[in-house]
Amino acid sequence: MAPKNDGPTKKVMNKGAWTAEEDRRLAEYIEIHGAKRWKTVATKSGLNRCGKSCRLRWLNYLRPNIKRGNISDEEEDLILRLHKLLGNRWSLIAGRLPGRTDNEIKNYWNSHLSKKINQKEKTVATSTAPEANPQKAWGVEEGE
DNA sequence: AATGCACACAACCGCGACACC
DNA sequence: TGGTGTCGCGGTTGTGTGCAT
């Protein structure tokens, strides 16, 4: 499909998956000028992307020292404990896991751990004879 | 071999916080 | 002190891929 004429004033930003060329340009720009003023990064680097998009791409994918995939048992355990402590404060949790990003942890939680926890809760609920104390077994507190 | 489904991950969106003028 | 612009975060959606039927 041939692109339509967008008109003289309106500039349409790129969306969707990043290309290798875009990655290269972003990394190159940040290497020279640093990762600050994302709006400027977006415009000056010549990428037709918004600052937000550049920031996300850099933090979650291009930044050096990023660990990707293979979350170890220790890391998983740490995530579980930190989540219990902090709740959905993914950036704080990520801060405790060197090389991991908040987005990755959030994704991991949503696809793996939330299910695990649901299953755990179910087994606990069934194993602790509900008829002895039904309210506690179903997590019902008087104040609620 | 084709199709449908579930899962994993990348990216977008909306909103609140913060900095600067 | 209020207004405006930018950033950062969390929630959500879109898309690609592998697996089962």
Distance CA(A21)–CA(A54), nearest Å, equals: 13
Q: Which nucleotide is nearest to A13 (CA to C1')?
A: B12
Class at the top of the CATH hierarchy for domain A21-62: mainly alpha
Q: Which residue is nearest to nucleotide B11 (CA to C1')?
A: A16
Digit-by-digit pLDDT tens for chain A (144 residues) are 333 333 344 467 788 889 999 999 999 999 998 888 899 999 888 888 999 999 999 999 998 888 887 888 888 899 999 998 988 899 999 999 988 999 999 999 988 877 776 666 666 666 654 433 433 333 333 332
Backbone angles phi, psi at A94, to 5 degrees: -60, -35
- The class level of CATH for A73-124 reads mainly alpha
Residue A100, judged by CB atoms within 10 A of its CB (0-12, 13-18, 19+), counts as buried
Query: What pLDDT does residue A7 have?
Result: 36
The answer to whether A117 CB is within 7 Å of strand B is: no
Indicate yes or no: strand B within 7 A of the C-beta of A39: no
Query: Within chain A, which residue ranges are assigned CATH 1.10.10.60?
Result: 73-124
CA of A102 and C1' of C10: distance in angstroms? 10
